[in-house]
């Protein structure tokens, strides 16, 4: 409830045209608040991709509910709506879509599923602040959107995030949950005291992370344009390579990307690991990404059928270095080494 927290909230709300925005400690907090708001309970099920960070599933488990893993698309690593349809049953309470790499899922299909089954739709936008589906900002299309401003994201607060509440009926309760279960933020000058109304916690961002995020929000267009330029540089050069070793992770060009990741998907785990080692020897660090939740020791206890594409993405995906202050010479060097690797393999 500090100055920069409010500045960020107002800026983000106006920028993405949200009904209500709260700056949170992180994206995890935003997801957990969303689960409280939909009254998620024991035996409820929430469908989500396995190819995501643990916070997506933990937010569900902390309410006593069950995560149900669905497969992703091979082209963009986003949730496959056909796989989701197969997993819906009477226990399904919500779907969490993850806009992977800053690129939108097919929200028309998921909105159709939401309406037909009368379930909630939550957008995990940890990668995708500023991205759009058609003309709408990601995070404002489902019932809730959760954003991350972690040190690894496009805008950096160290530890910071935001919650977008798009269904106005949840606005009042969201404020109470954010204020540790009290109505302090809602009382008028006539009332002398506030009181305990609901469960809640200290989910709100501290001032220092908020100040860091606000300084970058004012340069958002510049930051995103730099990322777009670098992404396009990579894409234009690497698409020229005649190769059977990898393909470029794509997205629907009709939608606006947040340009969070530039990734290659290799045809096998063996070639992927060989490429990472080759680049490391050239003093270029490239990384794979998520270890699928359904393959983890903890995740094996949950529903996990039909994860064919998820495992192909995991086995093949490599992220190239990608940050807004990269020099052209750095990018050219990286591209030249990708070409070298392709020529000898």
- Separation between Cα atoms, residue 101 and residue 84, nearest integer Å: 20
- Separation between Cα atoms, residue 165 and residue 241, nearest integer Å: 44
The number of beta carbons lying within 10 Å of the beta carbon of residue 17 is 11
Instruction: Determine contact, residues 99/105, Cβ cutoff 8 Å.
Output: yes
Any bridge partners for residue 189, and if so which? none
Full strand arrangement of the beta sheet holding 45-49: 20-24, 161-165, 144-148, 120-125, 92-98, 45-49, 66-70
Instruction: Give the closest residue to 129 by CA, choosing from 252, 29, 227.
Output: 227
- Separation between Cα atoms, residue 176 and residue 174, nearest integer Å: 5
Q: Would residue 102 be called left, alpha or beta, if left means φ above 0 and alpha means ψ between -120 and 50 degrees? A: left
**Distance (Å) of CA 4 to CA 15, 42, 150, 205, 215:** 16, 37, 17, 10, 10
DSSP annotation of 190 reads: T
Tokens of 269: 């785990």
Helix (H), strand (E) at residue 101: none
DSSP annotation of 320 reads: P
Instruction: Give the closest residue to 202 by CA, choosing from 237, 183, 222, 178.
Output: 178
* Rg of the chain taking only CA atoms, in angstroms: 21
- The pLDDT score that the predictor gives to residue 306 is 86
Q: Is 256 exposed, middle or buried (0-12, 13-18, 19+ CB in 10 A)?
A: buried
The 3-state secondary structure of 222-274 reads HHHHHHHHHHHHHHHHHCCCCCCCEEECCCCCCCCCCCCCCEEEECCHHHHHH
Q: Tell me the pTM.
A: 0.95
The number of beta carbons lying within 10 Å of the beta carbon of residue 26 is 24
Instruction: Determine contact, residues 154/223, Cβ cutoff 8 Å.
Output: yes
pLDDT tens string, the chain, 345 residues long: the values are 799 999 999 999 999 999 999 999 999 999 999 999 999 999 999 999 999 999 999 999 999 999 999 999 999 999 999 999 999 999 999 999 999 999 999 999 999 999 999 999 999 999 999 999 999 999 999 999 999 999 999 999 989 999 999 999 999 999 999 999 998 888 877 777 889 999 999 999 999 999 999 999 999 999 999 999 999 999 999 999 989 999 999 889 899 999 999 999 999 999 999 999 999 999 999 999 999 999 999 998 887 788 999 999 999 999 999 999 999 999 999 999 999 999 998
Task: Provide φ and ψ at 130, rounded to 5°.
Answer: 95, -10
- The pLDDT score that the predictor gives to residue 202 is 93
- The pLDDT score that the predictor gives to residue 152 is 93
- Separation between Cα atoms, residue 203 and residue 28, nearest integer Å: 9
**Distance (Å) of CA 291 to CA 102, 288, 332:** 19, 9, 29
């Amino acid at each position: 409830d500090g100055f920069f927290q409010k500045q960020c909230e107002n800026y983000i709300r106006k920028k993405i045209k949200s009904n209500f925005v709260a700056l949170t400690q992180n994206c995890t907090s935003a997801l957990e608040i969303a689960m409280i708001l939909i009254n998620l309970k024991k035996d409820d099920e929430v469908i989500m991709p396995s190819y995501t960070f643990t916070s997506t599933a933990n937010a569900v488990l902390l309410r006593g509910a069950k995560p149900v893993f669905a497969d992703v698309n091979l082209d963009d690593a986003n949730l496959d709506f056909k796989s989701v349809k197969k997993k819906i049953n009477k226990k399904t309470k919500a779907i969490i879509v993850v806009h992977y790499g800053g690129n939108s899922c097919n929200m028309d299909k998921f909105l159709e599923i939401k309406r037909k089954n009368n379930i909630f739709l939550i957008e995990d936008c940890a990668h995708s602040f500023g991205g759009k589906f058609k003309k709408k900002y990601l995070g404002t299309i489902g019932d809730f959107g959760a954003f991350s401003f972690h040190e690894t994201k496009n805008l950096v607060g160290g530890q910071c995030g935001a919650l977008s509440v798009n269904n106005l009926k949840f606005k009042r309760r969201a404020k109470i949950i954010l204020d540790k279960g009290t109505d302090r933020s809602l009382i008028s000058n006539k009332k002398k005291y506030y009181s305990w109304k609901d469960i809640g916690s200290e989910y709100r961002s501290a001032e220092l992370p908020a100040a860091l995020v606000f300084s970058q929000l004012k340069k958002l267009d510049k930051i995103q344009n730099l990322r777009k330029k670098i992404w396009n540089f990579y894409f234009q050069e690497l698409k020229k390579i005649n190769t059977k070793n990898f393909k470029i992770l794509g997205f629907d060009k009709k939608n606006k990307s947040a340009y969070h990741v530039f990734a290659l998907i290799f045809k096998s785990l063996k070639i992927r690991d060989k490429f990472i080692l080759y680049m490391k020897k050239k003093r270029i660090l490239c990384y794979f990404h998520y270890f699928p939740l359904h393959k983890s020791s903890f995740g094996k206890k949950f529903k996990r059928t039909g994860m064919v594409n998820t495992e192909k993405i995991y086995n093949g995906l490599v992220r190239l270095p990608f940050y807004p202050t990269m020099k052209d010479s750095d990018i050219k060097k990286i591209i030249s080494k990708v070409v070298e690797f392709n020529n000898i393999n």
